[in-house]
Amino acid sequence: MTKVGIARGIFYYYYGDIWKNFFDYLKVPYIISPNTNKEIMENGMKYANDEMCLAFKTYLGHVSYLIDKCDYLIIPRIDNYKLDNQTCTNFLSAYDIVKNTFDIKILNYNIALDKHQNLKQGLINIGKQLGFSKEQSKKAYKYAVGLYKKDRARDITINMGKLNSNKTKILLLAHPYNTYDDLIGRDIIKYLNANNIEVIFSDKFDDKITNKLSEKITKDLYFKYSKDNIGALIYAKDKIDGVIFLSAFPCGPDSLTNELVMRKIDIPHINLVLDSNSSFTGIETRLESFIDMLKGGF
């Protein structure tokens, strides 16, 4: 039976669970690349252009890991959720870049809500390529999204519940593909937890609320994921003690949005920009002094 490969990077952190549910329902076997490790990152750097952002380099490393382990890779293209909610160019170009760099068949769909291309059609299309009827795929889609929404609601409740914690609270403002990547955000979260900090994640809020809320800081922004993050900050700002901006060098949207937000807020914050070889010692020093400051421990 054909096996689908899911690269643990970029899209995975938004759609991975839905894909897993979808393939589970259709009993399509799939393989997910492991947590990012040094080998994956180094492989990514081999294929990536030098100036690509760290997260995308890593993504290409995950793709290369899967090349000889599956029949298809699933790589969507996410263009927009309407014109005022667009994505960065990596979400637009990943499919074509992979297609030109590797020799592998790709399951692809496009999300462009301004042109009425949505996830449902996308998954039905993929089902078709794998030999399933429209009906079967529709059912699988319904199952996948239903389950995802339930899980997501639970995650959001837990995350937002932390806003009432008695501990020192820090909002980690970052794209999930950075936050949860083993070589990007994991050590930071681990360090914060070990220091008795309540870490709140900017990606685990209800985007129906946060997306709109972002307009309080920026009226012209059209990057969906950045807007959601900024909205989360506005939602949480009176309940948190500090913010950590974490981004992957040289992220296009973050270079502007984080700059703007940092100029506009008056909450204690630090800006961490990670490159492929940033040593954790340097980051640790900055985290430590930041926490000291928040706890008034000087």
Partner 1 sequence: MHKISFPLMGDYNVPIEFLLKHAFKEEIIMPPPITSKTIELGTKYSPEFVCTPFKYTLGTMLEAIEKGADTLIQMGGGCRYGYYGEVQDQILKDLGYNVTLINLVTKGKVDIRRIVKELKETGIKYSKLKAIYYGFIAIKMVKYMDIIDDYIRENIGFEVKDGSFETLKFKMLNDFRQVKSYLELKKLYRYYLKEIQNVPIRKPDKCLKIGIIGELYTVMEPFSNYFLEKELSQNQIEIKRFTNVHYLLFEKKHKIKKYLKYSKKYIKYQMGADAADNIARTKYLCEAGYDGIIHIKSSFCTPEIGAMPIINKIASEYETPVLFFSFDANTSETGIKTRLEAFYDMLEMRKEK
Partner 2 sequence: MKDSYLGVDIGSISTKGVIIDDDNNIITSSYIWTEGNPIKAVRKLIDILKKDLPNNYQIKGIGTTGSARKLIGLLLKANIVKNEITAHAVGTLTFYPNVRTILEIGGQDSKIILIKNGIITNYAMNTLCAAGTGSFLSSQAKRLGLDVSEFGAYALKSKNPVKIAARCTVFAESDLVHKAQVGYPIEDIVAGLCKSIVLNYLNNVGKGKKIESPIIFQGGVSKNVGVIKYFKEILGEDIIVDENGHLMGAIGIAVLARKNKIGKTYSLELSNIAFDTKAIECGRCPNNCELLKIYRNNELVDSWGSKCGKY
- Helix (H/G/I), strand (E/B), else coil: 14: helix
Among 168, 249, 278, 280, binds partner 1 (CB under 8 A): 249
Least distance from C-beta 113 to partner 1, angstroms? 13
Residue 46 contacts partner 1 per CB under 8 A? no
Sheet strand arrangement including 242-248: 197-201, 168-173, 242-248, 269-274
Angle between helices 54-66 and 38-47 (to 10 degrees): 100
116 contact choice in partner 1, partner 2, none (CB below 5 to 8 Å, kind-dependent): none
Decide if residue 215 touches partner 1 (CB under 8 A).
no
Beta carbon nearer to partner 2, 42 or 135: 42
Q: Count of CB atoms within 10 A of residue 181's CB? A: 25
Token pair belonging to 132: 């399933």
Distance, CA of 52 to CA of 249 (rounded, Å) = 8
Closer residue to partner 1 (CB): 80 or 159: 80
Q: Are 79 and 111 in contact (CB under 8 A)?
A: yes
CB-based contact 188:246 (threshold 8 Å): yes
User: Nearest approach, Cβ of 49 to partner 2 (angstroms)?
Assistant: 7
Of residues 246-285, those binding partner 2 (CB under 8 A): 275-279, 281-282
Identify the residue among 219, 279, 296, 297 touching partner 1 (CB under 8 A): 219
For the beta carbon of residue 296, count every other beta carbon within 10 angstroms: 8
Q: Which long-range contacts (CB under 8 A, 24 or more apart) does 286-289 make?
A: 287/188, 287/191, 287/192, 287/244
Nearer to partner 2, 166 or 281 (CB): 281
Q: Provide, rounded to whole angstroms, the least separation between the CB of residue 102 and partner 2.
A: 14
Considering the complex, state which of residue 146 and residue 282 has its C-beta at the smaller distance from partner 2. 282
> For strand 105-107 and strand 72-74, is the pairing parallel, antiparallel, or unpaired?
parallel
Of 39, 96, 288, 292, the one binding partner 1 by CB under 8 A: 96
Pairing of strands 30-32, 77-80: unpaired
Q: Is 92 in the site for partner 1 (CB under 8 A)?
A: yes
Rounded to whole angstroms, the Cα distance separating 28 from 236 reads 40
Indicate the residue among 136 and 276 with the shorter CB distance to partner 2. Answer: 276
Using the rule CB under 8 A, give the single segment among 22-30, 41-49, 175-183, 262-270 that binds partner 2.
Answer: 41-49
- Cβ proximity of 85 and 224 under 8 Å: yes
Binding site for partner 2 (CB under 8 A): 38, 42, 45-46, 49-50, 275-279, 281-282
Binding site for partner 1 (CB under 8 A): 49, 51-53, 77, 79, 83-84, 86, 88-90, 92-93, 95-97, 99-101, 108, 110, 218-223, 249-253, 255-260, 263-264, 273
